[in-house]
Structure 1
Amino acid sequence: MSRLVNLLTVLVVIVTLTTVDANAFAVTVTVIDVEIDKRALEAKKVKEIMTMDGIANEASWQLASWQPIDQLILGSMPSKEDFSGRFKIMWDEQQLYLLVEITDDILFDQHADPRHLYWDDDCLEIFIDEDGSGGNHQFNFNAFAYHVALDNQVVDIGENNADGSDNFILLNDHVTSVWRRNEQSPNKVIWELSVRAYGDSFSLQVPMQTSIQNKKIQPVKLSEGKNLGFMLAYCDNDGSKTREHFIGSVDIKAVNGNKNLGYITADVFQRLTLIR
């Protein structure tokens, strides 16, 4: 599978002094091109049991750095009062942990059916490519585009239905989500989530097994040094028929003028490395 690499070239200058005699030195200047993945992200391991309750009072969160959600994907760039966001990400062997801080003056959920036009409601989008391989995932489980609604239900697109129509599915067991508004103005939304990482062997079909415990496909166990594909985004709508702003954490290179590619291909995700 292909994987998009977004590299920044840096010139490193090395100056070497060589003694010629007691009163003179020769200076040699070496210039080296070093390529750095400017989209790489690191997640530290938590130090305690994490409780997803929208309070975020675990000491481990202090070890993680805030990352911005500030890259326009669709619509117009909102004012900071209309929408702004940032997040922290951590991990343990069982799952990833996200702390997301959202400023949104109007929370809007117009569709009762969690699988109907969910992208036109306010929702948080979590993009995960468990093995970091990139590639298309629109109608398969090579990667996941979890849309977490205000009622905490989790939606993605599965394999097409038998008639070829889109198959919108609930994957609520993949993500645990709790949010609450801060009581202090500007009443930011504090959103805590734990995300289990499933590989591309995930299927909605239950495999034939002799042991009942082994019937359900299990999430991948995480470990230090593992690389995943990752992106975070937010759909903002203040009352329109369709979403007004779509803002993400990654600067996506447009294809034919379109930056809304995260739900189609994992090539636009950034690399996430798990560290201690």
Structure 2
Amino acid sequence: MRLTIIAFSIVILLFNCSQKPTKKRFKAHYTHLAPVVDGDAKDSIWHAIPYWNTEQYTWINNVNSEPPAADFSWKYKLAWDENKFYVLAEIRDDVISDVHPDPKNLYYQDDCFEVLFDEDNSGGDHEVSYQAFVYHISILHDVLDIDTEGNRVLLNDHVEIRMDTLNGTSIWEAAFDIYDEGYISTDKSNPVKLHKGKVMGWGMAYCDNDGEENRDHFIGSHFIPGKDKNVTWRSADAFAEVKLVE
């Protein structure tokens, strides 16, 4: 009897160890009419989606205090069609800062909007591969990631982006091409076609800098377990998910 209990316990332990942690899953809603990327929320799809995503988690805190709502808060909606993935984000940030003029140098220390994609939701390391993309979007609309040689590269042609700011609130509107792991930067790689029911690795983040040399906070869309939460730039295992729905 004792051996049976021990054997059963081992089976349960092995089963639990083999299970992947449940990831936060977002929804992106289908649009028949592509939104105009002009930095406002007037398009029909943004009005049709009845809710905003508002959760935020502090992944890095360099000032030993959580950002008050007046310093940083956000809400956002997600949409898609066969050709593009769309994001509308309304971000409250009382100080917008870009103190590093070279878009490839210390871009993550400036105010920076990040959107993460793992096209086949397979996870894994992507530090020097296109297994996943982490688009770092500056307030000047430069779009940066790391290539297969470990170089920082501009991928402005992957994203149509517009940011408009009024009284400390910025409207970010973006249309992303989605590429799979076979993307070749020196070739004319084609984006994948999207379809209902597709689940991708996904996430969103924001680097908040209030005018200093280094960012104050790094804020993300979902909870990341463990002490080291600055991991999405190198591992898609830390992404959440998004499902494409009607």
TM-score by structure 1 length?
0.78
Note if contact 1:253-1:259 (Cα within 8 Å) is conserved in structure 2.
yes
Q: Report the number of matched residues.
A: 225
Q: Quick one: which amino acid aligns to residue 52 of structure 1?
A: V
1:32 alignment counterpart: none
Measured after TM superposition, the shift of residue 55 of structure 1 is 1.4
Measured after TM superposition, the shift of residue 4 of structure 1 is 8.4
After TM superposition, list the pairs within 5 Å mapping 1:141-180 onto structure 2.
141-160=130-149, 166-180=150-164
Note if contact 1:44-1:63 (Cα within 8 Å) is conserved in structure 2.
no
1:94 paired with 2:67, answer no
1:193 alignment counterpart: 174
**DSSP-derived class of the 1:132 partner:** coil
Q: Quick one: which amino acid aligns to residue 21 of structure 2?
A: N
CA distance in 2, matches of 1:69, 1:138: 26
TM-score by structure 2 length?
0.88
1:72 alignment counterpart: 58
Note if contact 2:34-2:81 (Cα within 8 Å) is conserved in structure 1.
no
1:59 alignment counterpart: 44
CA distance in 2, matches of 1:107, 1:145: 21
1:253 paired with 2:234, answer no
Note if contact 1:41-1:271 (Cα within 8 Å) is conserved in structure 2.
yes
Structure number having the greater strand percentage: 1
Q: Quick one: which amino acid aligns to residue 227 of structure 1?
A: V
CA deviation digits over 1:218-268, x for unaligned, max 9?
1101011111000000000011211110000010012xx211111111111
CA distance in 2, matches of 1:249, 1:100: 12
1:268 alignment counterpart: 238
Identity of aligned residues (%): 37
| Structure 2 residue runs without a partner (length 5+) | 1-17
CA distance in 1, matches of 2:173, 2:128: 28
Measured after TM superposition, the shift of residue 47 of structure 1 is 3.0
Note if contact 1:69-1:247 (Cα within 8 Å) is conserved in structure 2.
no
Q: 1:221 to 1:260 in 2, by over 3 A?
A: same
Note if contact 1:69-1:233 (Cα within 8 Å) is conserved in structure 2.
no
CA distance in 1, matches of 2:78, 2:182: 25
**DSSP-derived class of the 2:58 partner:** strand
Q: 1:218 to 1:4 in 2, by over 3 A?
A: farther
Aligned to 2:211, which of 239, 244, 248? 239
Note if contact 2:203-2:240 (Cα within 8 Å) is conserved in structure 1.
yes
Q: Quick one: which amino acid aligns to residue 106 of structure 2?
A: L
Q: Quick one: which amino acid aligns to residue 157 of structure 2?
A: D
CA distance in 2, matches of 1:119, 1:168: 12
Note if contact 2:124-2:131 (Cα within 8 Å) is conserved in structure 1.
yes
CA distance in 2, matches of 1:6, 1:86: 26
Q: 1:205 to 1:225 in 2, by over 3 A?
A: same
Note if contact 1:43-1:90 (Cα within 8 Å) is conserved in structure 2.
yes
CA distance in 2, matches of 1:172, 1:219: 14
**DSSP-derived class of the 2:47 partner:** helix
1:130 alignment counterpart: 119
After TM superposition, list the pairs within 5 Å mapping 1:22-37 onto structure 2.
none
Note if contact 1:140-1:158 (Cα within 8 Å) is conserved in structure 2.
yes
1:224 alignment counterpart: 196
After TM superposition, list the pairs within 5 Å mapping 1:100-111 onto structure 2.
100-111=89-100
Aligned to 1:42, which of 27, 31, 39? 27
Over aligned residue pairs, what C-alpha RMSD do you find? 1.5
CA distance in 1, matches of 2:222, 2:160: 23
CA deviation digits over 1:160-202, x for unaligned, max 9?
2xxxxx41000001111101113xxx54111100111100000
Note if contact 1:69-1:87 (Cα within 8 Å) is conserved in structure 2.
no
